[in-house]
Structure 1
Amino acid sequence: MRTGDTMELSVPPITRTTLALFAGASGDHNPIHIDIDVARGAGLDDVFAHGMLSMAYLARLLTDHFGQERIRTYRVRFAAITPVHGQPTCTGRVTGVDDGLATIELAVTLADGTTTLTGDATVAVDRQD
């Protein structure tokens, strides 16, 4: 693992089924994520993804590359909504490695270039990683 190394996870487009399943799994049944009438009542064209769904996909990027046991810190900032049918891409870039810990800059972006989530993580790495 070296400074500048990158990783990526492409996610299928967010469907209404994805939103309904995530609502059930997470216990977050906020109707703005699953009921188009509520979303329109709030001035939106349609429902949008839970921010925590994007955070979960970003966590998958980390666990796919390092395993859960190596994650020491994980922080995000929600920057924009992910509309239904949006296709997130999760990326990570190693910004430094020091004393067995790698710092990773994280982002989730949509096909149109919108960044919906930014963050960082610290993960334990071996010298041979």
Structure 2
Amino acid sequence: MIKFADVAKGDLLPEQTFPIRRVDLVKYAGASGDFNPIHWNERFAQSVGLPDVIAHGMFTMAEAVRVVTDWCGDPGMVVEYQVRFTKPVVVPDGVDEESGARLTVTGKVSAVNEDGTVRVDLVATSGGEKVLGLARAVVRLP
């Protein structure tokens, strides 16, 4: 587990890439109760102007913060988390492990505060496009 005394402004968190497949969206729909067909039905998604099925925004947000929780070692240390959704994560269909989308997330310590908190700014991309804007987490470290 990382300690507050070991963190400096500018520190980089390990980059992570998360696969997102249609089956993940179906599982998330079941857990969240969000069965909007834009998240599982290609024909419907395209009929409303989307290029394909898209990941749930909250699913994307949850995957992105894993970079922070893996880094600090305890999800309970995250005291604040916010993002702006800038582009959807498009999830093409397929049956193999390589199908679907990839969400790549990087993080950088942007502030080390006197109150024992650290702000981490995140950059999340999929398909070469930034999908979250102003993504940041505040973590209270021991």
Q: What is the total number of aligned residue pairs between the two structures?
A: 124
Verify: 1:27 aligned to 2:33, yes or no: yes
- Find the counterpart in structure 2 of residue 124 from structure 1: 140
Verify: 1:44 aligned to 2:50, yes or no: yes
CA RMSD of aligned residues (A): 1.4
**In structure 1, distance between residues paired with 2:49 and 2:40:** 15
Q: Which runs of 5 or more structure 2 residues have no equivalent in the other structure?
A: 1-6, 92-99
Report matched runs for 1:1-129 at 5 Å: 1-7=7-13, 8-12=15-19, 14-66=20-72, 67-84=74-91, 85-99=100-114, 100-112=116-128, 114-118=129-133, 119-126=135-142
Match of 1:122, SS?
strand
Post-superposition CA distance 1:8-55 (Å, at most 9, x none):
22112x211111111112211111111112112112332111111110
TM-score by length of 2: 0.81
Deviation at 1:124, TM superposition (A): 1.1
TM-score by length of 1: 0.88
One-letter identity of the residue aligned with 1:124: R
Runs of 4+ with >6 A deviation: none
Q: Which runs of 5 or more structure 1 residues have no equivalent in the other structure?
A: none
Identity of aligned residues (%): 38
**In structure 1, distance between residues paired with 2:69 and 2:102:** 20
Deviation at 1:111, TM superposition (A): 4.3
